[in-house]
Amino acid sequence: MTRFGATILDAEGLRLSAAEKAFFRDANPFGFILFARNIDTPDQVRALCDEMRESVGRDAPITVDQEGGRVQRLRGPVWTEWTPPLDFVKAVGASASQAMYLRYRLIAAELLAVGIDSNCAPMLDVAGAETHPFLRNRCYGSDPGTIAVLGRAAADGMLAGGVLPVMKHIPGHGRSTLDTHFELPLVTAARAALSGSDFAPFRELRDLPMGMTAHLVFSGIDDRPATLSPVMMQVIRDDIGFDGLLMTDDLGMKALQGERADLAARALKAGCDVVLHCNAPLAERCAVADAAGEMSDAAQARAERALAARRQPDDIDIPALQAQLGTLLNGA
């Protein structure tokens, strides 16, 4: 088995440049991630995914943020436009679990059709009164038990459609009053309160193949951002019990300060398995890949388990599922 590079990387445009192809061949990232700038037509997305996989010589996972609502890289009119998750959950009422399954089964079908086989969802963050607007309507609710049920339904829908889910933002982002794209939030709640609430949905879904960290400081546990904290990694592995592949949130977000290559090394040393690095010049991507190196033995084993969770999609009638979902929405 090839030892993967401990990175998930992106591309600058709609197709790979010659320099990017050479870089990916040498860096051998575990996988790739797409953004809106990489999306035009179905044929173009398929061709880009093919190029990414050809560059590393294997069926590497390709992920995207397709939550629905504001965070949705593949958009209408070509792809389905979804309402934000929180609005969607409120709209379907008592049928939320069934509707979430259908929503993410249909999302999986659209993704897999263009070569994307992973999605950065479900989002298991617990919404609160002070949750920052950048996050709030992306949440599934404010009750940890309900969030776990809806997150499971979303994950099951994606898995049935041949798409690997990435639960986020572990161990919980809901208490953030700041946007981590620009600032580093501080959460002062005690560990016991966090364990009973914020951590709970992740504990319920700890069997999922992949998870993404949160760039938050939990001051009652450690003074470092969770992504860079060995103490928080122990919380994720021991308290929450997650032993799947753990990727960082984007190292380029301004919540983390410092050189990106140094941040990559710190995240891996803390206990992350793979670093997600996005929206940077090629030189910086090269520096991050060099700093990250190859996966550790433990990370490689988790990566192989995650890839083994990929399955052939079940046979569905897409118009029938769309009609079923429409009935739930109209009935509510």
Annotated active-site positions, please? Answer: 181, 249
Q: Which tokens go with 172?
A: 């919980």
CA 112 – CA 164 distance, rounded (Å):
10
CA 104 – CA 236 distance, rounded (Å):
25
Q: Is 272 helix (H, G, I), strand (E, B) or coil?
A: coil
Secondary structure of 17-28 as H, E, C letters = CHHHHHHHHHHC
- What's 227's DSSP letter? G
CA 278 – CA 178 distance, rounded (Å):
20
Q: Which tokens go with 77?
A: 């009119």
Using DSSP bridges, classify how beta strands 71-72 and 66-68 pair: parallel, antiparallel or unpaired.
antiparallel
Q: Is 68 helix (H, G, I), strand (E, B) or coil?
A: strand
CB atoms within 10 A of CB 265: 18
Residue found by looking up tokens 């320099």 in the block: 19
CA 169 – CA 179 distance, rounded (Å):
13
CB atoms within 10 A of CB 254: 12
Q: Which tokens go with 30?
A: 């575990």
Nearest partner of 174 among 233, 119, 118, 218, judged by Cα: 218
CA 204 – CA 198 distance, rounded (Å):
11
